[in-house]
Amino acid sequence: MHKDLERILLSEKELDTIITRIAAELDRDYSGSDKRLVLLCILKGSVVFMGELMKKITVPVEIDFMRVSSYGAGTETTGSINIILDLLRKDLDQCDIVIVEDIVDSGRTLSHLTKYLKLKGVHSVRTCTLLDKPERREVDLVADYVGSVIPDEFVVGYGLDYDEKYRALPYVGILKREVYEK
Ligand code: PRP
């Protein structure tokens, strides 16, 4: 285990089981659809989850990317989000989009993105998150596919960072308080 971690919250094996289950749910829900299934990875934190998830889905699937940022810095997210990399494809009315997130915290990012994509004329939008912190919710957002509901701890690894570090860890761990409070 990395020395900056308090403990591992989700091991590689547990993550594999979770992602296998979500892929099966997506296969079940999108088999037989005549639209294009698009996994929309929200950079950067979702990249590891997305990479594993797409390998386990057996129905035809496409991928795309957006990057957004919340205004403000540090460990808190704020009310509005800023689109840094937009979705450029022109066939959105033919797309069933599943937004893929690493974590839902306040819920503002997914809530805003869902409304944004609907306004752009997407055929359907659903949301998928590896981790869910319901204690932190500020808006009414329930993700359609949830990997694991977790406590309100500072988690890193498997794509999630603190100050851009720890994203490459193959598990999700709880960061020691002294690391982000010093
Ligand atoms: C994180 C996460 C979500 C968002 C969730 O991204 O990946 O996009 O915050 O928070 P919310 O539910 O309060 O909106 P972050 O801004 O840390 O960017 P990153 O993925 O590039 O690390």
- Report the pocket of ligand 1 as residue ranges, CB < 6 Å: 42-45, 69-70, 77, 101-109, 161
**What distance in angstroms lies between residue 103's CA and the mean position of ligand 1's atoms?**
7
Nearest CA to ligand 1 atom 7: 45
Provide the 3-class DSSP secondary structure of residue 104: strand
5-68+81-180: what fold?
Rossmann fold (3.40.50)
The answer for residues whose C-beta is within 8 angstroms of residue 115's C-beta and 6 or more apart is none
Six-digit token string for 73: 């810095």
Can you tell me which atom of ligand 1 is nearest the CA of 67? 21
**Quick one: pLDDT band at residue 182, thresholds 50, 70, 90?**
confident
Mean pLDDT across the chain, nearest whole number? 93
Can you tell me which atom of ligand 1 is nearest the CA of 141? 12
**How confident is the model over 158-180, as pLDDT tens digits?**
999 999 999 999 999 999 999 99
CA distances from 150 to 6, 62, 105, 107 (A): 15, 29, 10, 14
**How confident is the model over 35-46, as pLDDT tens digits?**
999 999 999 999
Tell me if residue 27 is catalytic. no
Can you tell me which atom of ligand 1 is nearest the CA of 104? 12
Is 145 exposed, middle or buried, given 0-12, 13-18 or 19+ CB atoms closer than 10 A? Answer: buried
- Of the residues 4, 29, 96, 105, only one is catalytic, namely 105
The DSSP symbol for 101 reads E
The DSSP symbol for 56 reads H
Nearest CA to ligand 1 atom 10: 105
pLDDT tops 50 at residue 54: yes
